[in-house]
Chains A and B, each alone.
Chain A
Amino acid sequence: MSKSAIDGPTKGGFSFDLCRRNEMLVKKGLKGPSFLKTGTTIVGLVFQDGVILGADTRATEGPIVADKNCEKIHYIAPNIYCCGAGTAADTEAVTDMVSSQLTLHRYHTGRESRVVTALTLLKSHLFSYQGYVSAALVLGGVDVTGPHLHTIYPHGSTDTLPFATMGSGSLAAMAVFESKYCEGLTRDEGVQLVAEAISSGIFNDLGSGSNVDICVLTKGHKEYLRNHLQPNPRTYISQKGSFSKKTEVLLTKITPLNKLVEVIEGGDAMEE
């Protein structure tokens, strides 16, 4: 029989059934599966009109750079965005799921989503998985109650802060914030400070690199500045050879191929 259409509280969370077996396997020498991590620098700060989020764009798999330009600033709601550090699959999946739940919530209530709602949905999910969902998030947005910025740790604890950094490059970025942050920054000052913090992470931390992504959230408006700064441009060799663009073309000669080659009419067809 189909269940009632009314949704109850979600059941689930981490299942401890296989923990004992896993411990035994590790003792016997089995290496656990490795994941794609976003050894990362992610930051957020509150400025006078709203919130600015920033992130680098490097995704690593151990010592290898797996993605040179990945997107770490995820959409949660039209007025709420979230930067994710940790296992890339986890941050993607968890932000997607909460975004979906908030869309339904918006339809049912007819109201704009609030940052605390996203915060609570994310932290309850992470807590119920006891830290195994390895997602460290910087959540920011502007709703009817004003601009908000929170950090969420993989085990489910949260902080509410005027400026925050997460990821392997967080110390480098925090150093920049601690010395230069002040209340009431303008948009341009805020964007510059965030770019500086992320750049500090990009250049001083091996797990962060490539470009700077920025997202500016104000009341009723959002600006997603993808690749706002590209301090590590990539140069490619042109397929046509390595002549520079200033090379002069002296002669263009086209030789029709049938003058050089014998064309046999009505020969045998090639074997299938």
Chain B
Amino acid sequence: MGDSQYSFSLTTFSPSGKLVQIEHALTAVGSGQTSLGIKAANGVVVATEKKLPSILVDETSMQKIQILTPNIGVVYSGMGPDFRVLVRKSRKQAEQYHRLYKEPIPVTQLVRETATVMQEFTQSGGVRPFGVSLLVAGFDDKGPQLYQVDPSGSYFSWKASAMGKNVSNAKTFLEKRYTEDMELDDAVHTAILTLKEGFEGQISGKNIEIGIIGNDRKFRVLTPAEVDDYLQEVE
């Protein structure tokens, strides 16, 4: 079809109707470290592998799961630096919303605004799409919510989802294990088991990260010690 001839420019459609740069961005995401999210009946959990390039790297210095507002958190698969830029932008948008309306930003609104930013970078000159997919976990008046945002700017609400290297295995595993009335603790266990499936090496509190939000509507990242406790429960 001659798609390759149209892959140089982001803002040019290929004859098959695709924007090839976005496809490539999704490939970049697909080769990133696995991350997943599960929506339970009373909360949401997100988890990710935290494989560092060498044992000499100080693992406490970097945190993959970030908080956007007190009740919304986010994790990614793909390029770390792109994620940092999006997190900064989203936090600012959430604060601006709060200043304007004096209410905490609803999860759907924040997801929509972040997705808009990502879409802008697919329709401008001289920029490239973000090489990350995001999993946004939040708890607001509509209850627990989990959204996935892609480099193209499209977003979907999921009951459970995975992204990155091991996505197909992880999704199959989640499809089998997911139940509508899961509690948050069960969801954490399921998340750990899903990560374990495709994990190379010894899994521990130091090389995975877990973030949870429950009925208290406070998103927090579990400490390595807490993660180890959950790991022991799963054993």
Please list the residues of chain A having a beta carbon within 8 angstroms of any beta carbon in chain B. Answer: 1-2, 5-7, 96-97, 100, 103-104, 107-108
A–B Cβ pairs within 8 angstroms, 25 of them: A1-B124, A1-B127, A2-B117, A2-B120, A2-B121, A2-B124, A5-B85, A5-B86, A5-B88, A5-B89, A6-B85, A7-B92, A96-B99, A97-B99, A100-B95, A100-B98, A100-B99, A103-B95, A104-B91, A104-B92, A104-B95, A107-B67, A107-B68, A107-B91, A108-B91
Please measure, in the bound complex, the distance between the C-alpha atom of A104 and the C-alpha atom of B91, giving whole angstroms.
Answer: 7
Residues of chain B lying within 8 A (CB to CB) of residue A6:
85, 88
Q: Which 7 A-B pairs have the closest CB atoms?
A: A5-B89, A2-B120, A1-B124, A5-B85, A100-B95, A100-B99, A107-B91
Query: Closest CB of chain A to B209's CB: distance in Å?
Result: 15
Contact of A1 with B117 at beta-carbon distance under 8 Å, contacts A100-B95, A104-B95 already known: no
Please measure, in the bound complex, the distance between the C-alpha atom of A97 and the C-alpha atom of B98, giving whole angstroms.
Answer: 11
Q: Which of B85, B86, B88, B121 has the most CB of A within 10 A?
A: B88
Residues of chain A lying within 8 A (CB to CB) of residue B92:
7, 104
**Nearest-neighbor residue (CB-CB) of A108 within chain B:** B88
Residues 97-137 of B, flagged 1 when their CB comes within 8 A of A and 0 if not, give 01100000000000000000100110011110000000000
Please measure, in the bound complex, the distance between the C-alpha atom of A96 and the C-alpha atom of B98, giving whole angstroms.
Answer: 10
Residues of chain B lying within 8 A (CB to CB) of residue A103:
95
Please measure, in the bound complex, the distance between the C-alpha atom of A2 and the C-alpha atom of B114, giving whole angstroms.
Answer: 13
**Nearest-neighbor residue (CB-CB) of B68 within chain A:** A107
Query: Closest CB of chain B to A138's CB: distance in Å?
Result: 23
**Nearest-neighbor residue (CB-CB) of A99 within chain B:** B99
Residues of chain B lying within 8 A (CB to CB) of residue A7:
88, 92
**Nearest-neighbor residue (CB-CB) of A107 within chain B:** B91
Residues of chain A lying within 8 A (CB to CB) of residue B96:
100
Residues of chain A lying within 8 A (CB to CB) of residue B89:
5
Query: Closest CB of chain A to B175's CB: distance in Å?
Result: 35
Query: Closest CB of chain A to B160's CB: distance in Å?
Result: 27
**Nearest-neighbor residue (CB-CB) of A101 within chain B:** B95
Residues 212-232 of B, flagged 1 when their CB comes within 8 A of A and 0 if not, give 000000000000000000000
Query: Closest CB of chain A to B130's CB: distance in Å?
Result: 10
Residues of chain A lying within 8 A (CB to CB) of residue B117:
2, 5
Q: Is the CB of B91 within 8 A of A1?
A: no
Please measure, in the bound complex, the distance between the C-alpha atom of A108 and the C-alpha atom of B120, giving whole angstroms.
Answer: 24
Contact of A1 with B95 at beta-carbon distance under 8 Å, contacts A107-B67, A108-B88 already known: no
**Nearest-neighbor residue (CB-CB) of A96 within chain B:** B99
Query: Closest CB of chain B to A265's CB: distance in Å?
Result: 50
**Nearest-neighbor residue (CB-CB) of B67 within chain A:** A107
Choose one: B86, B98, B125; the contact of A1 (CB below 8 Å): B125
**Nearest-neighbor residue (CB-CB) of A103 within chain B:** B95
Task: For chain B, residues 58 to 94, give those with C-beta under 8 angstroms from any C-beta of chain A.
Answer: 67-68, 85-86, 88-89, 91-92
Residues of chain A lying within 8 A (CB to CB) of residue B86:
5
Residues of chain B lying within 8 A (CB to CB) of residue A108:
88, 91
Residues of chain A lying within 8 A (CB to CB) of residue B124:
1-2
Query: Closest CB of chain B to A169's CB: distance in Å?
Result: 30
Please measure, in the bound complex, the distance between the C-alpha atom of A7 and the C-alpha atom of B86, giving whole angstroms.
Answer: 12
Query: Closest CB of chain B to A173's CB: distance in Å?
Result: 31
**Nearest-neighbor residue (CB-CB) of B66 within chain A:** A107
Please measure, in the bound complex, the distance between the C-alpha atom of A100 and the C-alpha atom of B89, giving whole angstroms.
Answer: 14
Q: Which of B92, B96, B125 has the most CB of A within 10 A?
A: B92
Please measure, in the bound complex, the distance between the C-alpha atom of A100 and the C-alpha atom of B91, giving whole angstroms.
Answer: 11
**Nearest-neighbor residue (CB-CB) of B85 within chain A:** A5
Query: Closest CB of chain A to B135's CB: distance in Å?
Result: 18
**Nearest-neighbor residue (CB-CB) of A4 within chain B:** B85
Please measure, in the bound complex, the distance between the C-alpha atom of A2 and the C-alpha atom of B126, giving whole angstroms.
Answer: 11
**Nearest-neighbor residue (CB-CB) of A97 within chain B:** B99
Please measure, in the bound complex, the distance between the C-alpha atom of A7 and the C-alpha atom of B68, giving whole angstroms.
Answer: 17
Query: Closest CB of chain A to B221's CB: distance in Å?
Result: 11
Residues 44-69 of B, flagged 1 when their CB comes within 8 A of A and 0 if not, give 00000000000000000000000110
Query: Closest CB of chain B to A6's CB: distance in Å?
Result: 7
Residues of chain B lying within 8 A (CB to CB) of residue A107:
67-68, 91
**Nearest-neighbor residue (CB-CB) of A93 within chain B:** B99
Query: Closest CB of chain A to B124's CB: distance in Å?
Result: 5
Please measure, in the bound complex, the distance between the C-alpha atom of A145 and the C-alpha atom of B96, giving whole angstroms.
Answer: 30
Please measure, in the bound complex, the distance between the C-alpha atom of A112 and the C-alpha atom of B101, giving whole angstroms.
Answer: 25
Residues of chain B lying within 8 A (CB to CB) of residue A104:
91-92, 95
Please measure, in the bound complex, the distance between the C-alpha atom of A100 and the C-alpha atom of B127, giving whole angstroms.
Answer: 30
**Nearest-neighbor residue (CB-CB) of B125 within chain A:** A1
8 further interface pairs, Cβ-Cβ under 8 Å (given A100-B95, A107-B67, A107-B91): A1-B125, A1-B127, A5-B89, A6-B85, A7-B88, A100-B96, A100-B99, A104-B92
